[in-house]
């Protein structure tokens, strides 16, 4: 490599130094590079190749094949045609005939200014490109080329990097700039702790940068890739763990009563917990007994019994003297939770529903009792986070289908709970009036102070009283691959309900092509005649101006018209996301009550109410949906005792569409399906990773590198266990890197 230019060396020392310090990068090129996320020289070094071209294995000209990329050495035999800058109006291509002892091939250049001065008869070059047959003859159009050494061998890099490009950039530009930036790679300081580099046998930073861009061989490339995959995941995990440590160090939780047990709660249920539910409730209760604020995510497939786990947590919180709140994304789902929980806790605790549809008088009454502590459990929608909603003593916040809420909304709800460390007196354990308690004298019956007031102990605790926060329990029925959960919820503790209740019937799933649609709706008619109900889901709300329906895409509105005509004796209704919330709730309520036989919808019903009478789910243009989304849609049926069915109608016979349909018909394991979806579509498309503000992964692939992710997690934990602030001299550079990457990340989980 050439000697390091002084300004490049300085650029690497100064992380904000512009990429324009690299030779040949002017204002226009710099603007295009910025669109690729490259602003500094360090950005350029970390702009890794998207693939590589192995130029070490050469073929002869006679071995060239149509459509097969090749590397070959050849001498210029002749040059014909005028280069473009001589042409008058019409641009004549320059054709160069090159060959060796085995044959000859044409090389064609358009816009070939000065090319005729490069290709001189007898001069040898090494060419890299893909031959194409044109009028019976093989040609290479605009191949890469280099001067060949005297012996015909290639004197440059054997494995060439291929970079992502934008209009205005060429591979040759990118390769040249990266090579120049690499001349100063030795100046880049190692920031991974020495014990990590040695313990994991990682390439040093300077060598790894050189090998990731211009490797000598495939082993060097493999080791460089491993270094940067591990580095990315280690930084990510360390950042998430520090978020968690920071949150826990600045907050005290509200320790719940030890004698409120899971066994006591289970006796209230009309069924027994599954083993998985019992395990998860144990994890939740262990968190709640601690003075550390609980932040736990409970994942469970549709029908696995997450609500019962949440109910157990609510029971423990209230029996320990606190209030609890459950927030759901829609009014219809909130009402369902309210109905289930108020029935379960009838006579045991006071429940209330808080929604935007309440009358003014009802709202005033409920909010007053919430503030005074007269209501133990509030269930509701976003209406719970309005400024005028206050709690007397909030100790537990539960959010259902957490991905439907923004982080800010969940934080707002959690901050409504600033509870005293001891809580109010646990229910059923009041000491005799006038007796001494840990917090002072117990008032006479009927003379309890307002629940929002501080006890003597809490007043003495000062600032720590204000820092006490409620426990957080978030639930999702969307199975999240452990590899992706590692990123999205790395600062939460996670529990998985991976067992279904006994006796639950498997939903029969099949796929059909467009030619089988008639049979599908004949079957739907039979299900309706038997007393069942059907969902029909479409990818569009209405027909597009581009003729989407004729192109094979069904819309909900066209399906409504088609099915209304097909089922004249039955009620067919429409539901989609552009309807007002009250309209949507009214339709879903009527469908739940059995007043609608066929509900035509978009994915707005992906997460929704429990309709035990619904036995058929038809998904039109199923290839337009992700696997995880299809699994969620399938979970809308199978809630009752009757056998239920899911039919995927494919509008495309592509290999990908068929593979997705096969996956759905072969397994009903939501976590397996989610892993498949992750590998097919990537994490960003599935869950919108970027909205959380976490660093973007440049080289690590969460679907393929889960074992590296787990190893990096262990390493990060070891580092933080011994140095929580990463402030020791040997960890300081790594800590600074973590800090810079996570400076804009406030909360990931919750």
Angle value at C-alpha 604, between 599 and 608, nearest 5 degrees: 80
pLDDT band at 374 (very low <50, low <70, confident <90, very high): very high
DSSP code per residue over 128-177 = EE--EEETTEEEEES-EEEEBPTTS-B-S-SEEEE----TT--HHHHHHH
Query: In the predicted model, is pLDDT for residue 440 greater than 50?
Result: no
Residue 554: phi, psi to the nearest 5?
A: -90, 145
The domain boundary, picked from 646, 667, 688, lies at 667
Q: Report CA 17 to chain centroid distance, whole Å.
A: 33
Count helices and strands (H / E) in the chain. 26, 24
Compute the distance between CA of residue 450 and CA of residue 372 in angstroms, rounded to an integer. 6
Compute the distance between CA of residue 80 and CA of residue 92 in angstroms, rounded to an integer. 10
Read off the pLDDT of each residue in 453-468 and give the average, rounded to a whole number: 38
Read off the pLDDT of each residue in 526-539 and give the average, rounded to a whole number: 95
Closest CA to 506 of 607, 614, 592, 634: 634
Domain co-membership, 419 together with 490: yes
Q: Give pLDDT, residue 486.
A: 62
Whether the CB-CB separation of 251 and 466 falls below 8 Å is answered with no
Compute the distance between CA of residue 398 and CA of residue 328 in angstroms, rounded to an integer. 9
**Non-local CB neighbours of 479 within 8 Å, separated by 6+ positions:** 299, 301, 628, 631, 670, 671, 673, 674
Domain co-membership, 363 together with 489: yes
Q: Give pLDDT, residue 607.
A: 57
Q: Give pLDDT, residue 710.
A: 83
Compute the distance between CA of residue 217 and CA of residue 54 in angstroms, rounded to an integer. 9
Whether the CB-CB separation of 376 and 324 falls below 8 Å is answered with yes
Whether the CB-CB separation of 597 and 572 falls below 8 Å is answered with yes
317 found inside a domain: yes
The domain boundary, picked from 497, 524, 545, lies at 497
Compute the distance between CA of residue 36 and CA of residue 47 in angstroms, rounded to an integer. 9
Whether the CB-CB separation of 670 and 479 falls below 8 Å is answered with yes
Query: In the predicted model, is pLDDT for residue 322 greater than 60?
Result: yes
Compute the distance between CA of residue 306 and CA of residue 402 in angstroms, rounded to an integer. 13
DSSP 24: T
pLDDT band at 232 (very low <50, low <70, confident <90, very high): very high
pLDDT band at 428 (very low <50, low <70, confident <90, very high): very low
User: What is the domain range of residue 598?
Assistant: 508-667
Strands 132-134 and 137-141: antiparallel
Closest CA to 732 of 745, 719, 714: 719
Q: How many residues does the chain have?
A: 750
Read off the pLDDT of each residue in 287-293 and give the average, rounded to a whole number: 89
Neighbours of 694 (CB within 10 A): 20
Read off the pLDDT of each residue in 250-269 and give the average, rounded to a whole number: 85
Read off the pLDDT of each residue in 336-344 and give the average, rounded to a whole number: 93
Strands 572-575 and 614-620: unpaired
Strands 295-300 and 471-476: parallel
Domain co-membership, 416 together with 288: yes
Whether the CB-CB separation of 470 and 397 falls below 8 Å is answered with yes
Compute the distance between CA of residue 210 and CA of residue 5 in angstroms, rounded to an integer. 17
Domain co-membership, 299 together with 171: no
Closest CA to 197 of 730, 747, 594, 738: 730
**Non-local CB neighbours of 619 within 8 Å, separated by 6+ positions:** 537, 625, 630, 633, 646, 647, 648, 649
Read off the pLDDT of each residue in 304-331 and give the average, rounded to a whole number: 93
Per-residue pLDDT reduced to its tens digit, 174-209:
999 999 888 877 788 899 999 999 999 999 999 999
DSSP 379: E
H/E segment holding residue 629: helix 627-634
Compute the distance between CA of residue 248 and CA of residue 252 in angstroms, rounded to an integer. 7
Query: In the predicted model, is pLDDT for residue 106 greater than 80?
Result: yes
Q: Give pLDDT, residue 716.
A: 93
When comparing pLDDT for 596 and 483, which is higher?
596
Domain co-membership, 42 together with 87: no
201 found inside a domain: no
Compute the distance between CA of residue 733 and CA of residue 739 in angstroms, rounded to an integer. 10
Q: Give pLDDT, residue 750.
A: 36
Domain co-membership, 559 together with 483: no
209 found inside a domain: no
Query: In the predicted model, is pLDDT for residue 59 greater than 70?
Result: yes
Q: Give pLDDT, residue 84.
A: 47
Domain co-membership, 522 together with 461: no
Query: In the predicted model, is pLDDT for residue 499 greater than 60?
Result: yes
Domain co-membership, 355 together with 328: yes
Q: Give pLDDT, residue 148.
A: 78
384 found inside a domain: yes
CATH number at residue 619: 3.40.50.300
H/E segment holding residue 295: strand 295-300
Q: Give pLDDT, residue 82.
A: 60
Q: Give pLDDT, residue 615.
A: 96
176 found inside a domain: yes
477 found inside a domain: yes
Which sign does the torsion angle of CA 485, 487, 490, 491 carry? negative
Domain co-membership, 39 together with 71: no
Report the chain's mean pLDDT, rounded to a whole number. Answer: 81
Compute the distance between CA of residue 418 and CA of residue 688 in angstroms, rounded to an integer. 31
Query: In the predicted model, is pLDDT for residue 398 greater than 90?
Result: yes
Out of 237-251, 346-360, 423-437, the most confident range is 346-360
Per-residue pLDDT reduced to its tens digit, 211-223:
999 999 999 999 9
Share of the chain above pLDDT 90, in %: 43
Per-residue pLDDT reduced to its tens digit, 688-705:
444 445 677 789 887 678
732 found inside a domain: no
Domain co-membership, 95 together with 46: no
Query: In the predicted model, is pLDDT for residue 530 greater than 60?
Result: yes
222 found inside a domain: no
CATH number at residue 95: 2.40.50.140
Q: Give pLDDT, residue 426.
A: 40
3-state secondary structure of 522: helix
**End-to-end Cα separation, the chain, in angstroms:** 50
Per-residue pLDDT reduced to its tens digit, 5-31:
666 665 555 566 788 888 888 899 999
Least confident among 378-392, 520-534, 563-577, 595-609:
595-609
- Split into its structural domains, the chain has a count of 4
Residue 501: phi, psi to the nearest 5?
A: -60, 145
Q: Give pLDDT, residue 496.
A: 87
Compute the distance between CA of residue 208 and CA of residue 222 in angstroms, rounded to an integer. 10
Query: In the predicted model, is pLDDT for residue 581 greater than 80?
Result: no
Q: Give pLDDT, residue 507.
A: 92
When comparing pLDDT for 131 and 432, which is higher?
131
Which sign does the torsion angle of CA 338, 287, 302, 487 carry? positive
Per the structure block, which two tokens stand in for 709? 């992710």
Domain co-membership, 284 together with 170: no
Least confident among 426-430, 522-526, 630-634:
426-430
Compute the distance between CA of residue 425 and CA of residue 431 in angstroms, rounded to an integer. 9
Query: In the predicted model, is pLDDT for residue 165 greater than 60?
Result: yes
Angle value at C-alpha 154, between 151 and 158, nearest 5 degrees: 150
H/E segment holding residue 476: strand 471-476
Query: In the predicted model, is pLDDT for residue 544 greater than 70?
Result: no
Q: Give pLDDT, residue 451.
A: 27
The domain boundary, picked from 139, 156, 173, lies at 156
Closest CA to 157 of 333, 374, 1: 1
Per-residue pLDDT reduced to its tens digit, 297-316:
898 887 788 999 999 999 99
When comparing pLDDT for 114 and 555, which is higher?
555
Per-residue pLDDT reduced to its tens digit, 656-687:
888 889 999 998 888 788 777 776 665 544 44
Per the structure block, which two tokens stand in for 108? 């064609």
Compute the distance between CA of residue 605 and CA of residue 304 in angstroms, rounded to an integer. 19
pTM: 0.63
Per-residue pLDDT reduced to its tens digit, 601-642:
988 775 557 899 999 999 999 998 888 889 889 988 988 889
Domain co-membership, 281 together with 147: no
Residue 611: phi, psi to the nearest 5?
A: -120, 90
């Amino acid at each position: 490599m050439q000697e390091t230019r002084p300004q490049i060396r300085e650029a690497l020392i100064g992380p904000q130094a512009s990429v324009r310090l690299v030779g040949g990068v002017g204002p226009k090129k710099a603007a295009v590079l910025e669109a690729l996320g490259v602003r500094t020289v360090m950005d350029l070094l970390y702009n890794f190749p998207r693939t590589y071209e192995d130029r070490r294995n050469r073929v002869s000209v006679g071995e060239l094949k149509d459509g097969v990329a090749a590397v070959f050495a050849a001498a210029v035999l002749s040059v014909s045609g005028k280069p473009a800058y001589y042409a008058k109006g019409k641009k004549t291509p320059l054709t160069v005939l090159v060959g060796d002892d085995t044959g000859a091939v044409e090389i064609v250049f358009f816009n070939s200014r000065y090319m005729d001065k490069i290709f001189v008869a007898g001069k040898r070059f090494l060419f890299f490109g893909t031959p194409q047959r044109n009028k019976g003859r093989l040609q290479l159009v605009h191949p890469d080329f280099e001067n060949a050494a005297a012996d015909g061998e290639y004197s440059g890099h054997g494995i060439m990097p291929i970079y992502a490009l934008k209009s205005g950039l060429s591979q040759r530009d990118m390769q040249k700039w990266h090579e120049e930036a690499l001349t100063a790679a030795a100046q880049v300081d190692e920031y991974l702790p020495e014990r990590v580099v040695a313990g994991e046998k990682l390439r040093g930073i300077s060598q790894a940068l050189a090998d990731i861009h211009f490797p000598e061989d495939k082993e060097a490339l493999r080791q460089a890739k491993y270094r940067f995959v591990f580095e990315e995941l280690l930084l990510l995990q360390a950042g998430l763990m520090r978020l968690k440590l920071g949150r826990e160090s600045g907050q005290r939780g509200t320790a719940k009563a030890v004698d409120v047990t899971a066994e006591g709660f289970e006796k209230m249920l009309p069924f027994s917990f599954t083993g998985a539910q019992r395990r998860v409730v144990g994890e939740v209760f262990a968190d709640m007994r601690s003075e550390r604020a609980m932040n736990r995510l409970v994942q469970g497939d549709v029908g696995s019994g997450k609500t019962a786990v949440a109910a157990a947590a609510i029971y423990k919180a209230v029996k320990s003297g606190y209030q609890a709140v459950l927030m759901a994304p829609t009014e219809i789902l909130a009402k369902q939770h309210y109905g289930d929980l108020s029935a379960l806790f009838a006579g045991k605790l006071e429940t209330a529903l808080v929604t935007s549809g309440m009358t003014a008088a009802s709202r005033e009454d409920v909010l007053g009792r919430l503030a005074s502590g007269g209501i133990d459990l509030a269930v509701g929608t976003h209406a719970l986070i309005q400024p005028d909603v206050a709690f007397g003593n909030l100790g537990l916040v539960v959010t259902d289908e957490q991905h439907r809420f923004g982080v800010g909304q969940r934080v707002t709800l959690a901050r409504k709970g600033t509870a005293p460390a001891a809580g109010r007196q646990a229910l059923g354990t009041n000491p005799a009036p006038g007796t001494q308690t840990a917090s002072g004298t117990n008032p006479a019956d009927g003379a309890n102070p307002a629940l929002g007031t501080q006890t003597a102990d809490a007043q003495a605790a000062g600032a720590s009283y204000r820092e006490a926060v409620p426990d957080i329990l978030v639930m999702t029925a969307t199975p999240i691959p452990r590899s992706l959960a590692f990123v999205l919820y790395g600062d939460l503790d996670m529990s998985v309900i991976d067992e279904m209740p006994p006796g639950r019937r498997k939903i029969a799933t099949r796929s059909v092509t467009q030619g089988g649609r008639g049979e599908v709706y004949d079957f739907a008619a039979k299900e309706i005649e038997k007393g069942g109900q059907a969902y029909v889901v479409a990818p569009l709300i209405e027909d597009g101006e581009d003729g989407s329906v004729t192109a094979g895409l069904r819309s909900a509105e066209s399906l409504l018209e088609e099915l209304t005509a097909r089922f004249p004796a039955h009620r067919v209704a429409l539901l989609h996301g552009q309807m007002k919330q009250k309209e949507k709730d009214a339709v879903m309520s009527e469908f739940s009550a059995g007043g609608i036989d066929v509900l035509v919808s978009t994915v707005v019903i992906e997460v929704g109410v429990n309709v035990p009478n619904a036995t058929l789910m038809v998904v039109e243009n199923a290839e337009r949906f992700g696997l995880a989304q299809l699994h969620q849609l399938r979970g809308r049926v199978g809630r009752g005792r009757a056998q239920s069915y899911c039919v995927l109608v494919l509008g495309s016979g592509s290999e990908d569409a068929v593979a997705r349909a096969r996956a759905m018909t072969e397994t009903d394991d939501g976590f397996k399906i989610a892993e498949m979806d992750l590998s097919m579509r990537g994490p960003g498309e599935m869950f919108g990773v970027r909205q959380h503000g976490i660093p973007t992964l440049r080289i690590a692939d969460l679907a393929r590198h889960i074992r590296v992710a787990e190893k990096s997690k262990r390493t990060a934990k070891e580092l933080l266990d011994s140095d929580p602030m990463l402030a020791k001299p040997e960890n300081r550079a790594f800590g600074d890197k973590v800090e810079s990457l996570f400076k804009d990340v406030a909360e990931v989980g919750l």
